[in-house]
Amino acid sequence: MGNAYIIGDTFSTDFPLQNPFQANHHANPHCQLCRDVFVSKLNETGEALVYSTYLGGGRTKNGIAIVVDIEGHAYVTGETHSSDFPIVNPFQSAPTGSSDAFVAKFNHDTDTLLYSIFRGSSEQDRGHAIAVDAKGHAYVIDHTLSASFPEVNTLMDQPSGCEIIVQVQFNTFVIKLDPTGSTLSYSLCLGHGVGRATAVNASGLVVIAGYTCSPTFPQVNPIQVAFGRAVRCFCRAGRYHRLQFTFLQLSCRRKTRHGFKYCSGFRG
């Protein structure tokens, strides 16, 4: 049995805490929609908290994804509107848009924040998924409303995937952080779409899955070439330095008036 790790956001000022990094709810009490992120770890039986902490500043925050490395450090990502969000060892120390993605790494006992950074453009940005490799590099999949999201060490034989935003379409981007959070190994924009999940294996192969509304989403060696219905899934995998990318458009149900469609797929 293992520990359970939970991330979310709360309006509560009496959320249960244990060994917290941040003991107080920092959201503005005069803002009805403002909330703080919480990060909690349960023991193996689920009967007690190992730690539970707030994470946030004066404005709205959304805690969206969490992953844990082999040493028990927790990595979290989401979205913040707060200029006073707690920042430690950052390469980007201030927000740049209406909202920025955040990435934070907690020590295994959570009373220490090992790093915490903003990552964003001049528009809205949000962290949706996070993975970590055996060396402690974090891989974050986000979406942005910007067509000029800041890119670093992009694929040399491919142009930027960022497209001009039309209506409410987003661009998907992926970033890789070094174990200290102070260096950005790369930042890539893939194109119109929203990344929802990511994973990385021992050899550094990164897999990204999500959905796109764009018939021009970049493809390499696709198993499905033609763009199908109004919304399609995508899956993309690659080793960044080897430039070996595979793109799969997978079957989906259409969006209906009762909610969003579901996607399914596979990786061989």
Strands 232-239 and 206-212: antiparallel
Within a domain: 262: no
Give the pLDDT confidence score for residue 263 in this predicted structure: 39
How do strand 244-248 and strand 74-80 relate by DSSP bridges?
unpaired
pLDDT in tens, 23-55: 998 877 777 778 899 999 999 999 999 999 999
- Whole-number pLDDT of residue 171: 79
Contact 151/160 with Cβ under 8 angstroms?
yes
**Could you give the maximum distance between any two Cα atoms of the chain, in Å?**
53
pLDDT at 109: 83
Give the pTM. 0.80
Query: What CATH number is associated with residue 9?
Result: 2.130.10
Which of the two residues, 268 and 227, has the higher pLDDT score?
227
pLDDT band at residue 90 under the 50/70/90 scheme: confident
Take residue 138 and report the two structure tokens written for it: 């974090």
Q: Which of 107, 58, 67 is nearest to 86 (CA)?
A: 58
Tell whether 82 is covered by a domain. Answer: yes
Residues 93 and 115: beta-carbon distance below 8 Å: no
Q: Are strands 49-55 and 232-239 parallel, antiparallel or unpaired?
A: unpaired
**Domain contains 158:** yes
Six token digits for residue 43 = 């023991």
Beta strand pairing status for 244-248 and 125-132?
unpaired
Residue at 268 is within a domain = no
Residue 262 has a pLDDT of 37
Query: How high is the pLDDT of residue 214?
Result: 72
CB atoms within 10 A of CB 88: 16
b/e burial code for range 161-175 (CB count within 10 A of at least 16 → b): bbbeeeeebbbbbbb
In a domain, 263, yes or no: no
Question: E-strand spans in the chain?
Answer: 4-10, 36-42, 49-55, 61-68, 74-80, 100-106, 113-119, 125-132, 138-144, 171-177, 184-192, 194-200, 206-212, 232-239, 244-248
Average pLDDT, stretch 184-212?
82
Chain centre distance of CA 227: 26
- pLDDT of residue 264 exceeding 50, the answer is no
Can you tell me the distance from the alpha carbon of 94 to that of 80, in angstroms, rounded to the nearest whole number?
A: 11
The domain tally of the chain equals 1
In a domain, 258, yes or no: no
Cα–Cα distance measured from residue 77 to residue 62, given in angstroms and rounded to the nearest whole number: 9
Residue 145: domain span: 4-248
Tell me which range, 91-100, 136-145, 210-219, is most confidently predicted by mean pLDDT: 136-145
Both tokens assigned to 81: 């509107």
- For residue 260, being part of any structural domain is answered with no
Q: CB neighbours (10 Å) of residue 31? A: 13
User: What pLDDT score was predicted for residue 193?
Assistant: 77
The pLDDT of residue 234 is above 70: no
Cα–Cα distance measured from residue 169 to residue 5, given in angstroms and rounded to the nearest whole number: 31
